[in-house]
Amino acid sequence: MLWQVISLKKAHIMEEILFDTTLLDEMGSKKSTIRVLEYYLEESPKYLLDLDKLLAERDFPSLIYKSHKLKGSLGMLKADLLVSLIYQLETAVSTELNFDKLQELLGLIKEKLLLLDTQLFQEIKRIKDSL
Amino acid sequence: MKILVAEDNVMLLKTIELKLIKEGYEVFTTPDGRETMKEIIRLRPDMIITDVMMPYASGLEVISMVRQQLKWKTPIIILSAMEQEEVILNAFDLGADDYITKPFSLNELVIRVKRLLNRNN
């Protein structure tokens, strides 16, 4: 598990685009895409706080539940790397419960989520500029 | 046509809502299972689209209420994750009509909605 995390960390450098709006574009309106991206960005900080809190409290069932919900949003953003990392977190919580590994994995997820937020803000600006 | 969408993930809920409104449906939304059960009775929707994992009551409990308690034939589509195969089977067993796995194509969802509504009319 750990080597997988490390190799993912090395493989996906900061410049990588972490999302793809193909699925959201099916709404057929750029304004709708912007609205949905904004909904995600409103929710994103709450997910970060919740995941941290639940891991610190060792509330693993709630951690799996929250991760699962976050994965739903990330899937619609086609944020495949993050979906894969969240899946690893869910698996690790369900099977290993090695706290250090969970913390390391969550740290990597948080780092990528913050990068995704930055990229989505840029995407919203790009779409707005094109309207 | 009234469609009730039950989903506790705000982004997903809004995505589905915006798409279905664009397609001309009257869309109502609920953020949890308990609210969904109340709104089903109040609105008597033409279709229900429900997530499985929701606070207070699951999508499976929602299906169970519609089919076993109310004895309604309202079409029901389940939203589920890829890894929830067993849940999907349970949902069909309880009376769900169709399912779609997340992440999903919104166009595919609309096709499934139209197909089910046509079948029931």
Sheet holding B26-30, edge to edge: B26-30, B2-6, B47-51, B76-81, B98-102
- Gap between the Cα atoms of B92 and B75, Å rounded: 12
Which of A 8-47 lie inside 8 A of B, CB atoms? 23-24, 26-29, 32, 35-36, 39-40, 42-43
- Answer with the residue of higher pLDDT: A96 or A66: A66
Q: CA nearest B21 in A: which residue? A: A27
Percentage of chain A surpassing pLDDT 90? 79
Find out whether B26 and A43 touch, Cβ atoms under 8 Å: no
Find out whether B19 and A26 touch, Cβ atoms under 8 Å: yes
Banded pLDDT at A5 (limits 50, 70, 90): low
- Gap between the Cα atoms of A39 and B29, Å rounded: 15
Query: Phi-psi region for residue B36, left (φ > 0), alpha (ψ -120 to 50) or beta?
Result: alpha
B2-111 has which fold? Rossmann fold (3.40.50)
Taking only the tens of pLDDT, chain B with its 121 residues reads 999 999 999 999 999 999 999 999 999 999 999 999 999 999 999 999 999 999 999 999 999 999 999 999 999 999 988 677 899 999 999 999 999 999 999 999 999 999 999 987 7
Banded pLDDT at A94 (limits 50, 70, 90): confident
Nearest one of A100, A77, A125, A64 to B102, comparing CA atoms: A77
Domains of chain A: 19-130 (1.20.120.160)
Query: Residues A63-88: pLDDT tens digits?
Result: 999 999 999 999 999 999 999 999 99
Length of chain A (residues): 131
